[in-house]
Amino acid sequence: MPFVLVRVSVTDYRRWKQVMEDHVAKRMELGSKGTRVFRDAEHPDRVLCLTEWGTFARARKFMGWGDPDETRRRSTVTGAPEVLFLNQVDTLPA
C-alpha cells in the first residue's frame, strides 16, 4: 500500500491547513485515499502528513502538480519539505 509522508515547518497552521483543504479535489482526482495530519507535540510548527495513495505514480504526479514555490509561500511553509515515499508491508497488533 503506497503512502507519502511529508514533514514541513509552518508559521501559520490555519493558513497551511486552508491551502491543504484547497487541494483536496486534486488529491482525490489523482487517487488519494485520505490524509492524516499530525503536529509535533513539542514543536507545533512542525506538521506531518501521511497520505495513502492508489499508486506511487499518482502520488508523484500530485507532488509535481502546480507551482511548489507558490504553494509553500501561500501555506507559510518554511524551508524545504521532507518527503518520503513509503510502502506499507505489515500491520502489527497494538
Residue 94 covered by a domain: no
Q: What is the pTM of this model?
A: 0.90
Q: Which domain holds residue 74?
A: 2-87
For the chain, give the number of residues.
Answer: 94
Residue 21 covered by a domain: yes
Enter the C-alpha cell of residue 76.
507559510
Confidence at residue 71, expressed as pLDDT on a 0 to 100 scale: 87
Residue 20 covered by a domain: yes
Enter the C-alpha cell of residue 33.
485515499
Residue 93 covered by a domain: no
Domain count, the chain: 1
- Which residue in 40, 62, 54 sits closest to 3, CA to CA? 54
Would you give per-residue pLDDT tens digits along the chain (94 residues)? 999 999 999 999 999 999 999 999 999 999 999 999 999 999 999 999 999 999 999 999 998 888 888 888 899 999 999 999 999 999 999 8
Do 81 and 9 touch, CB atoms closer than 8 A? Answer: no
Longest distance between any two alpha carbons in the chain, whole Å? 42
